[in-house]
Structure 1
Amino acid sequence: MSRTTPVSRVVGACLRDARERRMILPDEAAAVLGIGPLALLALEEGRRRVSPRALELLSRLYQYGDGDTRALEQLLAERPDFNGIARDAAPGHARRLAACTSNASRIRWRSTTVLPAPLQTREYARALGEPSASRPGAPRPVTATTAFVLDARVIQRGGQTPRLMADQADHLLHLLEDGTDIRVVPESHGFLQPPGHLVEITLPAGRVLAQPGPSWVDYCATDRLSAAIDAALSATDPDSSRDILRRAAASHRAHTLSPTGPDTDPAERAAHVR
């Protein structure tokens, strides 16, 4: 794997996201730094490294919280490990990942564990105890081409939470019918390692591979890990994915109606959803 890290692209995307949430024009932000709009664009696209002084001035202009500013400072100072990975483990890591995806021209999200946050119902997210990654401020039209590639077991598992999973499977079907590209890979295919989430994000200055964990996000340059997404996409298609989702929804619904398969209370759901 490449030993380079796309930290500058991540920090740039976060700064652009913060500027747009405050509805500040690029010319205004550039003037604060004493640079031209094209130079500011280079910072936001990650083609130019953000200096500590520039980060301080922009954080003040965007009314960034101290915690968010420190997180970006830590990310800029992070030295990649021998695998070329830089870890963002500071509070707000999910928001920073969301800032990257909101700036992307293409996203490919592969999961072998739980559903990606953009596909979760509120009840599913609550059961997992996942933080919200919602983006406040001025809305931005969805322009990124996003493909979600799921292991069939992600939607088939449900344990003692059939009602929760039935509603979640129905939600996925609605998203699919509305045009969201959701692919479900059959169990027979198997997934390449590593397990968990892989998010390939195409930003203006290049691609970033993110691996979200329970309390962190790892970032690295994309190379061979993207092959896991390529292989998963080649093993499925929209029609077969729709059939798998329908069967999963029907199975969970049947367990919901069965007197031998009652739902557990919310406190127990997280253990059974995973």
Structure 2
Amino acid sequence: MSLSNPVTRVVGACLRDARERRMILPEQGAEALGIDLPSLIALEEGHRRVSPAALDALTDLYRCTGTDALRQLLAQRLDRADVVRDQEPGHARRFGACADSASLTRWQSTVLLPGPLQTPHYALSVGEAPVTRPGAPRDVTGSVVYLVDERVIQRGSDSARLMAEQLDHLLRLLDSGTDIRIVPGTRPVPQPAGHLVELHLPGGPVWVRPGPDRVDYCGTSGFASAITASFAATDEASSRAALERAANAHRALADGTTL
């Protein structure tokens, strides 16, 4: 397997996430494998392939679930579309571990609001459940930018009042420093409908398509330029204005008034 295969980075990120949530030092992981510390760090960063024996030893030490799913990922090769699919139970948790390991995340959504921006009521209305991972929470220091198609906030969810509350939540997140960009709906969307996430992992970038029943990891992608173009098409001021317009419109609809 070539180290350009994204699963080496994905599995490494999952192992690092499990180790840190169990508050186990990397030196303990290296000792369990009989390797030096730089070799373990290279394994966690995806610069070194994880052998089946090393995977068993580390998942046993970290008391983490999903060993079989990680083993299946390691056995996969990129298909003709340069994609490896994770559709085993726990795929959302593994994606979350990768997101926590990224130094930069660019999340572009064209249908629903990104999961990290959803309130519990919104998530329930669109059939998405928040993902929790056991153990101590990790200190996530990477930067994240969310690019949301304007038609997503205009379309709303089950009710106008619910969407108004969700958009008020987004405005509060914006005030607290979350980088949310609303891409004008008049601009042609250069990707298929859904979510596309670009993760800058220690071993290199990985492009991800998370879905309700699977997560696709891509080794190479032309989507990077599309995300960059969307980012360049908006700014904080125009994004705030779009959120405020949509929130007011949903609120007026919920109240039975006209703007």
Same fold (TM over 0.5): yes
For residues 103-252 of structure 1, the aligned pairs below 5 Å read 103-158=101-156, 160-252=158-250
C-alpha distance in structure 1 between counterparts of 2:60 and 2:4, whole Å: 30
C-alpha distance in structure 2 between counterparts of 1:222 and 1:175, whole Å: 31
| CA shift digits 1:41-98 (9 cap, x unpaired) | 0110000000000011111111122xx1111011111121101100001111111111
C-alpha distance in structure 1 between counterparts of 2:127 and 2:108, whole Å: 20
For residues 82-121 of structure 1, the aligned pairs below 5 Å read 82-121=80-119
Q: Secondary structure at the match of 2:108?
A: strand
| CA shift digits 1:2-21 (9 cap, x unpaired) | x9531100000000000011
1:189, distance to aligned residue in structure 2 (A): 1.0
TM-score of the superposed pair, with normalisation by structure 1: 0.90
C-alpha distance in structure 1 between counterparts of 2:157 and 2:101, whole Å: 37
- The corresponding residue for 2:34 is 34
Q: Is the 8 A contact 2:198 2:205 kept in 1?
A: yes
Q: Secondary structure at the match of 1:140?
A: coil
Q: Secondary structure at the match of 1:188?
A: coil
C-alpha distance in structure 2 between counterparts of 1:240 and 1:14, whole Å: 37
- Large movers: runs of 4+ above 6 Å: none
C-alpha distance in structure 2 between counterparts of 1:137 and 1:105, whole Å: 22
- The corresponding residue for 1:59 is 59
1:207–1:159 CA distance, 2 compared to 1 (3 A): closer
- The corresponding residue for 1:7 is 7
Structure 2: state its 5+ residue gaps: none
Structure 2 counterpart of 1:90, which letter?
A: E
Q: Is the 8 A contact 2:183 2:234 kept in 1?
A: yes
TM-score of the superposed pair, with normalisation by structure 2: 0.95
Q: Is the 8 A contact 1:4 1:80 kept in 2?
A: no
Aligned match for 1:253, one of 242, 251, 254: 251
C-alpha distance in structure 2 between counterparts of 1:249 and 1:242, whole Å: 10
Structure 2 counterpart of 1:168, which letter?
A: Q
Percent of aligned pairs with the same residue? 56
Number of residues paired by the alignment?
Answer: 256
Q: Secondary structure at the match of 2:205?
A: strand
Structure 1: state its 5+ residue gaps: 261-274
Q: Secondary structure at the match of 2:188?
A: coil
| CA shift digits 1:162-211 (9 cap, x unpaired) | 11111110010000111000000111112102221110000111101001
RMSD: 1.6
1:140, distance to aligned residue in structure 2 (A): 2.8
- The corresponding residue for 1:269 is none
Q: Secondary structure at the match of 2:111?
A: coil
| CA shift digits 1:236-269 (9 cap, x unpaired) | 1110000000011111111111189xxxxxxxxx
Q: Secondary structure at the match of 2:39?
A: helix
Q: Secondary structure at the match of 2:234?
A: coil
Q: Is the 8 A contact 1:93 1:216 kept in 2?
A: yes
C-alpha distance in structure 1 between counterparts of 2:26 and 2:91, whole Å: 25
| CA shift digits 1:100-131 (9 cap, x unpaired) | 01011100000001011110000011112223
